[in-house]
């Protein structure tokens, strides 16, 4: 088994794995499961600092939340603003198109967060959008957008916000009560460190109303959030819930609440120390300002390939880090220091292995990265 230091899925603690082996009831008809599910959603709401009971756990990997948001809100012909400063940001346009919407891109530099003032200037020219999509931590680069501030600007123009925080939540702070976000998407397998398979979504009252007031039906069953909304009153789920996955998610949420503030502090310190070590080594960070606390993208040095680095890390050190895809394919390798991966000893070992791998490939490293990391913590 490799030590997975990837940008998600992340390592899964023993207590979460054990929780997934608990005895199962029939989740369709056992009232105790409806209570358990509702409490679990409640913990997610609490983590997001909202009193509103509008969270759901859907059966499907993180992408399901993104598609469900677009499927449920988009009617044919709707104009949707795609805030694009990263690969996942850009990708929302595909979901909008599938459901007949008209995506309009607001493109900004992939090396830094979206500037709220620039978005405001763009909206002065054109703000005829039903909703906008934006990514909190865009994982391929590790750029962190201020989704709270951006959602407020959009709201002032009467535009709803769909925010993807699959790779942000539980590692990068997010306060829904200080935002105008309408649909927030999270996933089980990133900083929460449960296995892949579940999407968490939170839906605002305004977004529910917009879905209810559609002229055309939602063109999906699995992605139709309205099918879920009254699950508790009706004691009915649109499909059988993956009970063992949800037991695991619950355990991960309980673990989060046992450590809450310490978690953000640890992510902050580890991310900053990783960047300090990488730059001191003479390597380049892809993002130049506004880094997420969950992942660091390091530019691949000239003369070697991402594949060379990843293979050396695996073969000589048994550690897996991530390459990249789409427009960043081959340009960066990524260390995922989120959730269970965000531990000093794990990142220290990863940086030592990265250094040895790069040196073996002929790259000059200008410091002892593991030592720099520890010194900067
Ligand atoms: C991981 C992730 C998702 C889920 O997508 P997969 O690539 O299928 O894991 C969605 N959005 C972001 C920003 C992610 O990091």
Helices (H), 157-242: 205-212, 226-229, 231-234
Q: Which protein residue has the closest C-alpha to ligand 1 atom 12?
A: 166
Shared domain for 34 and 117, answered yes or no, is yes
**Of the residues 86, 139, 143, 188, which should be mutated to test ligand 1's pocket, given the most ligand atoms within 8 Å of the CB?**
139
At 208, phi and psi to the nearest 5? -60, -45
Q: How far apart are CA 216 and CA 14, in angstroms?
A: 46
Shared domain for 239 and 267, answered yes or no, is no
Shared domain for 88 and 182, answered yes or no, is yes
Taking the complete model, does pTM exceed 0.95, yes or no?
A: yes
My answer on whether omega of the bond before 271 falls inside 30° of 0, hence cis, is no
Question: What does DSSP say about strands 183-187 and 198-203: parallel, antiparallel, or unpaired?
Answer: antiparallel
Specify the DSSP element, H or E, that contains 204.
Answer: none
Shared domain for 360 and 280, answered yes or no, is yes
Residue with tokens 């990514």, as numbered in its chain: 135
Shared domain for 20 and 117, answered yes or no, is yes
Residue 3 lies in a domain: no
Q: Which protein residue has the closest C-alpha to ligand 1 atom 11?
A: 166
Among candidate residues 259, 233, 199, the one with its CA nearest the CA of residue 58: 199
Shared domain for 62 and 198, answered yes or no, is yes
Burial of 194 (0-12, 13-18, 19+ CB in 10 A): buried
Shared domain for 241 and 268, answered yes or no, is no
CB of 166 closer than 6 angstroms to any ligand 1 atom: yes
Residue 8 lies in a domain: no
Residue with tokens 């680095």, as numbered in its chain: 309
CB of 86 closer than 6 angstroms to any ligand 1 atom: no
Q: Any idea what the CATH number is for the domain that residue 323 is in?
A: 3.90.1150.10
Shared domain for 242 and 99, answered yes or no, is yes
Q: Which protein residue has the closest C-alpha to ligand 1 atom 9?
A: 62
Largest CA distance in the chain: 64
Shared domain for 169 and 289, answered yes or no, is no
Chain-centre distance for alpha carbon 58: 15
Give the residues across from 285 on adjacent strands: 298
CA quadruple 299, 305, 306, 309: dihedral positive or negative? negative
Shared domain for 112 and 198, answered yes or no, is yes
Residue 7 lies in a domain: no
Residue 78 CA to ligand 1 centre (angstroms): 25
The answer to whether the CB of 20 falls within 8 A of the CB of 245 is yes
For residue 352, the enclosing domain spans: 262-376
Q: Which protein residue has the closest C-alpha to ligand 1 atom 4?
A: 62
Residue 224 lies in a domain: yes
Nearest atom (ligand 1) to Cα of 62 = 4
Shared domain for 101 and 242, answered yes or no, is yes
Q: Which among 226, 253, 280 is the end of a domain?
A: 253
Residue 65 is predicted with a pLDDT of: 98
Residue 22 CA to ligand 1 centre (angstroms): 28
Residue 261 is predicted with a pLDDT of: 86
Q: Which among 229, 253, 277 is the end of a domain?
A: 253
Q: For the chain, how far is it from start to end, CA to CA, in angstroms?
A: 28
Give the count of domains, the chain: 2
Residue 6 lies in a domain: no
Show pLDDT as tens, one digit a residue, over the chain (377 residues). Answer: 899 999 999 999 999 999 999 999 999 999 999 999 999 999 999 999 998 879 999 999 999 999 999 999 999 999 999 999 999 999 999 999 999 999 999 999 999 999 999 999 999 999 999 999 999 999 999 999 999 999 999 999 999 999 999 999 999 999 999 999 999 999 999 999 999 999 999 999 999 999 999 999 999 999 999 999 999 999 999 999 999 999 999 999 999 999 988 999 999 999 999 999 999 999 999 999 999 999 999 999 999 999 999 999 999 999 999 999 999 999 999 999 999 999 999 999 999 999 999 999 999 999 999 999 999 99
Residue 6 is predicted with a pLDDT of: 98
At 278, phi and psi to the nearest 5? -65, -45
Residue 5 lies in a domain: no
Q: Which among 253, 277, 310 is the end of a domain?
A: 253
Burial of 134 (0-12, 13-18, 19+ CB in 10 A): buried
Helices (H), the chain: 14-19, 31-47, 63-73, 87-98, 116-125, 147-156, 205-212, 226-229, 231-234, 243-280, 306-317, 344-360, 369-376
CB of 61 closer than 6 angstroms to any ligand 1 atom: yes
Name the 3-class secondary structure at 330: coil
Region at 197 (left for phi over 0; alpha for psi -120 to 50; beta for the rest): left
CB of 167 closer than 6 angstroms to any ligand 1 atom: yes
- Check residue 291 and report its DSSP letter: B
Residue with tokens 């346009």, as numbered in its chain: 93
Specify the DSSP element, H or E, that contains 140.
Answer: none
Residue 195 lies in a domain: yes
Burial of 367 (0-12, 13-18, 19+ CB in 10 A): middle
Q: Any idea what the CATH number is for the domain that residue 210 is in?
A: 3.40.640.10
Shared domain for 37 and 158, answered yes or no, is yes
């Amino acid at each position: 088994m490799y030590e997975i230091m990837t940008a998600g899925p992340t390592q899964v603690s023993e207590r979460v794995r054990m929780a997934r082996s608990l005895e199962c009831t029939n989740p369709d008809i056992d009232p105790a499961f409806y209570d358990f599910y509702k409490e679990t959603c409640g913990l997610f709401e609490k983590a997001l600092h909202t009193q509103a009971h509008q969270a759901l756990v859907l059966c499907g990997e993180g992408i399901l939340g993104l598609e469900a948001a677009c499927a449920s809100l988009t009617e044919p012909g709707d104009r949707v603003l795609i805030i694009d400063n990263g690969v996942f940001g850009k990708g929302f346009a595909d979901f909008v198109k599938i459901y007949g919407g008209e995506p309009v891109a607001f493109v900004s530099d992939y090396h830094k967060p979206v500037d709220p003032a620039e978005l405001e200037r763009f909206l002065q020219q054109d703000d005829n959008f039903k909703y906008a999509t934006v990514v909190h931590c865009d994982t391929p680069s590790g750029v962190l957008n201020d989704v709270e501030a951006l959602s407020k600007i959009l709201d002032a123009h009467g535009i709803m916000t769909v925010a993807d925080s699959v790779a942000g939540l539980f590692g990068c702070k997010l306060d829904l009560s200080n935002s105008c976000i309408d649909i927030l998407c999270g996933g089980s397998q990133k900083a929460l460190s449960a296995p892949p398979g579940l999407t968490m979504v939170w839906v605002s009252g305004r977004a529910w109303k917009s879905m209810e007031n559609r002229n055309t039906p939602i063109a999906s069953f699995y992605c139709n959030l309205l099918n879920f909304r009254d699950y508790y009153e009706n004691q009915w789920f649109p499909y059988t819930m993956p009970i063992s996955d949800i037991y695991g998610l619950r355990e991960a949420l309980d673990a989060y609440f046992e450590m809450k503030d310490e978690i953000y502090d640890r992510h902050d310190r580890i991310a900053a120390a990783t960047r300090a070590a990488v730059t001191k080594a003479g390597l380049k960070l892809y993002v130049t300002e506004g880094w997420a606390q969950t992942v660091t993208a390091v530019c691949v040095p000239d003369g070697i390939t991402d594949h060379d680095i990843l293979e050396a890390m695996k073969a000589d050190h048994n550690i897996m880090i991530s390459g990249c895809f789409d427009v960043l394919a081959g340009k960066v390798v990524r260390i995922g220091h989120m959730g269970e991966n965000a531990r000093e000893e794990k990142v220290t070992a990863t940086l030592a292995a990265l250094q040895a791998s790069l040196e073996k490939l002929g790259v000059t490293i200008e410091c002892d990265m593991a030592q720099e990391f520890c010194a900067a913590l």
